[in-house]
Amino acid sequence: MSPQFPAPVRTRSKALQQRAERFFPGGVNSPVRAFRAVGGAPPFVQSAQGAWLTDADGNRYIDYFSSWGPMILGHAFPPVVEAIQRAARSSASFGASTAAEADLAERVTACYPAIEKLRFVSSGTEATMSAIRLARAATGRKIIVKFEGCYHGHSDGLLVKAGSGVATFGIPGSAGVPEEIAHLTLALPYNDLPAVEAAFAAHPNAIAAVILEPVVGNAGCIPPAPGYLAGLRALTAREGALLIADEVMTGFRVALGGALELYGVDADLVTLGKIVGGGLPVGVFGGKRGLMDLLAPIGPVYQAGTLSGNPLAMAAGIATLSYLQDHAAQVYPQLEATAKAVAEGVAAEAARAGVPLTVNRVGAMWTWFFTPGPVTDYAQAALSDTAAFGRFHRAMLDAGVWLPPSQFEAAFLGTAHGEEEVAATIAAARAAFQAVIAG
Ligand code: KE4
């Protein structure tokens, strides 16, 4: 089944968008879904199966945003569906402890030796927000270091942009974030260890933690430079600050044990999300036992959540992680091969069309940057021709290939993507680059 030509009609999606705008700002429950970065009107999804989405008008698309990461086993993967259905028959939520929470925790800690204890929450935002509170309590320090281009959810202290210099405090990255809170965060360039050294020198014994995406996905895909992660680990250990690896996106994706496994580095705290819930709302923050035992009810750090450890989400996460654990030897080489084929196949079409393109990829997450490159930090990513990316995105969508709707997002694929999807995507790109050139 190849994507359809000519451009699909989306009258029902347009009507649904107008209805949605009566209820939701921009008609969406998360901004990136509104397609403002790429233009055009977002299709409304009706259903999905494997690697394919079907919209409200019956048009079909190869899915390359995978619900922003979770759907690594493809949509409606039968063991996950059955696990959710089975759990739902015993009620959707109890607000009390269940065996399923430890069942999933056993699988998480088996994949992440850095996580000796953990707590489930319902989103990546909650996970990173809670990890930072824990780091401040554990160190008695206030300042947090993050990196330009890294996104860690929308808690106030993490919606911060770089100040004027690497040692100057951040400025609010969103309306509604008070300067007083932004001033507790330093936003530094990614892949720049001297900048982190300078920050510690400027703020001795004041930095509680350094948080980063060990492989950036939220500026588009930017891998860590050789030695960068190990350098951060050594620096934070020397300075008495905690290292928080935000693996909400990379966890179970770039390897079964995420970036920590792939690059052989350790962290004091790890945050997870997306894949760990198999498409249902789950976030995790975890780490060394001594840190985690600071949490209520045994310690002084408060954190709570009505739906934390929700039984349906636990069931979906258990079904997802157990499949990944049982089939890792096949799954990760397959994801690597499929992603390499599609990322490089499309890049070859760009070269043939004379369109400048830089491909950054780690396993089954990648970005086609519309710039000659290289792209090793956010400043370089920002040089991309976003208008060209918008033309590419719209042409690919009309050809039945749904890419993440922003130049500054990572694309993802899962085990349901195969040779047919790769071939159809490359064929669609051949035509789409002509639309890019046409301007
Ligand atoms: P959530 O609160 O959206 O579950 O997770 C926040 C988060 C934390 N850390 C990392 C590394 C993340 O990538 C995310 C969320 N990722 C975005 C995609 N770029 C979610 C998509 C959206 O915002 O709609």
Q: What is the CATH number of the domain that holds 146?
A: 3.40.640.10
- The answer on 227 and 303 residing in a single domain is yes
32 CA: nearest ligand 1 atom: 24
Distance CA 334, CA 322 (A): 17
pTM of the model: 0.97
- The answer on 305 and 176 residing in a single domain is yes
Query: CA dihedral defined by 422, 427, 430, 434, rounded to 10 degrees?
Result: -130
For residue 398, indicate whether it is catalytic. Answer: no
Identify the domain boundary among 295, 326, 357.
326
Asked if residue 291 lies in contact with residue 118, where contact means CB atoms within 8 angstroms, the answer is no
Q: How many residues in the chain?
A: 439
From residue 174, alpha-carbon distances to 32, 153, 182, 309, 409 in Å are: 15, 12, 10, 30, 19
Domain of residue 393: give its range: 11-64+328-438
Q: Whose CA is nearest to atom 1 of ligand 1?
A: 124
Asked if residue 160 lies in contact with residue 175, where contact means CB atoms within 8 angstroms, the answer is no
Identify the domain boundary among 326, 355, 372.
326
| Long-range residue pairs from 384-390, CB within 8 A, at least 24 positions apart, any chain | 384/220, 385/356, 386/37, 388/355, 388/436, 389/38, 390/37, 390/38, 390/39
Tracing tokens 């402890």 back to the chain, one arrives at 97
In the predicted structure, residue 120 carries a pLDDT above the cut 60: yes
Distance CA 316, CA 13 (A): 29
Q: Whose CA is nearest to atom 23 of ligand 1?
A: 30
Tracing tokens 């039984």 back to the chain, one arrives at 311
In the predicted structure, residue 231 carries a pLDDT above the cut 60: yes
Asked if residue 80 lies in contact with residue 70, where contact means CB atoms within 8 angstroms, the answer is no
**Tens digit of each residue's pLDDT (9 = 90 or more) over 373-412:** 999 999 999 999 999 999 999 999 999 999 999 999 999 9
DSSP-assigned beta bridge partners for residue 62:
52, 401
> How does residue 7 score in pLDDT terms, banded at 50, 70 and 90?
confident
Q: Residue 48: which H helix or E strand, with range?
A: strand 45-49
- The answer on 266 and 240 residing in a single domain is yes
- The answer on 304 and 216 residing in a single domain is yes
The closest of 298, 289, 245 to 267, measured between CA atoms, is 245
What is the count of structural domains for the chain? 2
Identify the domain boundary among 326, 354, 376.
326
> How does residue 3 score in pLDDT terms, banded at 50, 70 and 90?
very low
Give 143 Cα–ligand 1 centroid separation in angstroms: 22
> How does residue 13 score in pLDDT terms, banded at 50, 70 and 90?
very high
Instruction: Please tell me the predicted confidence (pLDDT) of residue 6.
Output: 65
The closest of 283, 298, 353, 323 to 121, measured between CA atoms, is 283
What is the mean pLDDT of the segment spanning 333-358?
98
What is the mean pLDDT of the segment spanning 12-38?
97
Look at residue 3 and tell me if it is in a domain. no
DSSP secondary structure letter of residue 276 = G
**Average pLDDT taken over every residue of the chain:** 96
Tell whether the torsion through CA atoms of 29, 35, 40 and 43 is positive or negative: negative
Helix axes 419-438, 311-353, angle to 10 degrees: 50
**Tens digit of each residue's pLDDT (9 = 90 or more) over 46-80:** 999 999 999 999 999 999 999 999 999 999 999 99
- The answer on 253 and 131 residing in a single domain is yes
Question: Kind of pairing, strands 401-402 and 411-412?
Answer: unpaired
Query: CA dihedral defined by 88, 92, 98, 99, rounded to 10 degrees?
Result: 20
From residue 79, alpha-carbon distances to 51, 121, 316, 330 in Å are: 16, 23, 9, 17
Look at residue 4 and tell me if it is in a domain. no
For residue 151, indicate whether it is catalytic. Answer: yes
Ligand 1 pocket, Cβ-based, cut-off 6 angstroms: 30, 32, 68, 123-125, 128, 151-153, 213, 217-218, 246, 248-249, 273, 409
DSSP secondary structure letter of residue 301 = B
Specify the CATH number for the domain of residue 409.
3.90.1150.10
The residue whose CB lies within 8 Å of the most ligand 1 atoms, and thus the one to mutate among 148, 152, 282, is 152
> How does residue 2 score in pLDDT terms, banded at 50, 70 and 90?
very low
Give 153 Cα–ligand 1 centroid separation in angstroms: 5
Distance CA 249, CA 222 (A): 13
For residue 274, indicate whether it is catalytic. Answer: yes
Distance CA 301, CA 132 (A): 11
Cβ–Cβ contacts within 10 Å for residue 382, how many? 17
In the predicted structure, residue 4 carries a pLDDT above the cut 50: no
- The answer on 392 and 336 residing in a single domain is yes
Percent of the chain exceeding pLDDT 70 equals: 98
- The answer on 40 and 97 residing in a single domain is no
Asked if residue 208 lies in contact with residue 241, where contact means CB atoms within 8 angstroms, the answer is yes
The closest of 332, 208, 320, 326 to 261, measured between CA atoms, is 332
What is the mean pLDDT of the segment spanning 302-310?
98
- The answer on 266 and 203 residing in a single domain is yes
The residue with greater pLDDT, 44 or 165, is 44
Instruction: Please tell me the predicted confidence (pLDDT) of residue 112.
Output: 98
What is the mean pLDDT of the segment spanning 112-116?
98
In the predicted structure, residue 1 carries a pLDDT above the cut 70: no
| SS3 state of residue 205 | coil
